[in-house]
Amino acid sequence: MIDGKTKTCALLGNPVEHTLSPIIHNTLAQRCQINMVYIPFLVEGSQLRQAVEGARALNMLGLNVTVPHKSAVCPFLSEIDKEASYIGAVNTLVSTPEGFKGYNTDLTGLHRALLSEGIQLSGEEIILLGAGGAARAAAFLCALRGASQVYLLNRSQEKAEAVAREVNQKAERDCIRAMELDGWKQLPAKKYLVIQGTSVGLAPHTEEAVIEDKAFYELVHTGYDLVYRPAETKFMRLVNEAGGKAFNGLKMLLYQGVEAFELWNNTKVREEDAYFCYEQMKKELEEHEGQK
């Protein structure tokens, strides 16, 4: 029941029509018995400052920020968490007496998702595909959580080199090595954790993988695709066919939301409640796919 004590959180983005975030937060609020509601708002870039100031004026508990506002919102914050400042992008704003503080729970949520599948980053040799926003956050995560070596493969080696330089400098390590997309052919023939951080595999390109050569997948012990729609990408199929384990990015989406909910409410979500949300998200995606 919404009443005078109900706290409000919101998502600012464009588009927001197909977001799964309300499922996460409203389900968690109900299961954790917290008087909170979560609403998505479509916000144009030109209105972003007004939206943040309006949320502050309305005494909102917190905000999520999604595409295309994750970097653009930073100037409107009173403070930015250290790891989020490295990345230069935030997705979670927490109300403080001074204003909103920005966090990047995409980074921490991905780590939590990997750990939930028994995947460790510390000491691991990793192949990271892509050098865009999602892959860049993954590169920071790998460097900050102790990966021994990350081979950053991208169609544009120049872009990969820029990301590698930035991450190595800010993480104060020399663990990211930029390569062209076919650079995997130069790597030692052993098994790697591979994180797929490109948009290849998203509709309408669901029958494509950023690397099609089946010989590549012989190097993969575990493949983690940041794409979660469709539930099984071609990258995942190729990993499975070569005998590796493959996961999609739905748990990353789940845990970035769980981490935001925990920050807003100063609480710890039980794993059984997180898992219940995960099942609700899968059900929603299956229903959406069935309607096509």
**Count: domains in the chain:** 2
Range of the domain at 21: 7-103+251-290
pLDDT over threshold 70, residue 284: yes
**Residue 49 has what pLDDT?**
98
Strand 192-196 relative to strand 125-129, pairing: parallel
Long-range residue pairs from 266-272, CB within 8 A, at least 24 positions apart, any chain: 267/32, 267/34, 269/28, 269/32
- pLDDT at position 203: 83
Verify that 159 and 186 share a domain, yes or no: yes
Kindly state whether residues 121 and 241 are assigned to the same domain. yes
> Is residue 143 situated within a structural domain?
yes
Determine, yes or no, domain membership for 12: yes
Is 38 annotated as belonging to a binding site? no
117 and 244 both lie in a single domain: yes
**256 labeled part of a ligand binding site:** yes
pLDDT, average across residues 163-178:
97
Instruction: Identify whether 70 is a catalytic site residue.
Output: yes
Catalytic hit among 5, 7, 70, 268: 70
Does residue 41 fall inside a structural domain? yes
Q: Does 119 reside within a domain?
A: yes
Residues 84 and 151 in one domain: no
Q: Are residues 227 and 259 in the same domain?
A: no
Residue 2: inside a domain: no
Beta carbons of 27 and 261 less than 8 angstroms apart:
no
Residues 93 and 119 in one domain: no
pLDDT of 48 above 90 = yes
Instruction: Give the pLDDT mean for 250-274.
Output: 98
Residues 23 and 75 in one domain: yes
Amino acid at 97: P
pLDDT (mean) for 142-154? 98
Q: Among residues of the chain, what percentage have pLDDT more than 70? A: 99
- Is 58 marked within a binding site? no
96 is in an annotated binding site: no
Residue 224 lies in a domain: yes
- To the nearest whole percent, how much of the chain has pLDDT over 90? 95
In a domain, 1, yes or no: no
Residue 255 and residue 243 share a domain: no
Query: What value does the mean pLDDT take over residues 89-95?
Result: 97
User: Residue 292: its pLDDT value, please?
Assistant: 59
Whether residue 290 is annotated as binding a ligand: the answer is: no
Q: Are residues 129 and 164 in the same domain?
A: yes
- Per-residue burial over 40-72, b = 16 or more CB atoms within 10 Å of its CB, e = otherwise: beebeeeebeebbeebbeeebbbbbbbeebbee
pLDDT in tens, 174-218: 999 999 999 999 999 999 999 999 999 998 889 999 999 999 999
Q: Do 209 and 129 share a structural domain?
A: yes
Domain match, 244 and 256 both:
no
The CATH number given to whatever domain includes residue 67 is: 3.40.50.10860
Does 91 belong to an annotated binding site?
A: yes
Quick one: 159 and 227 in the same domain?
yes
Q: Tell me, what's the pLDDT at 287?
A: 87
CATH code (residue 207): 3.40.50.720
To the nearest whole number, what is the mean pLDDT of the chain?
96
Strand duo 176-180 + 192-196: pairing:
unpaired
Is 13 annotated as belonging to a binding site?
no
HSE on the CB side for 98, CA within 13 Å? 7
- On whether residue 152 sits in a domain, the answer given is yes
Nearest to 139 by CA among 68, 199, 198, 180: 198
Q: Report whether 66 belongs to an annotated binding site.
A: yes
pLDDT band at 291 (very low <50, low <70, confident <90, very high): low
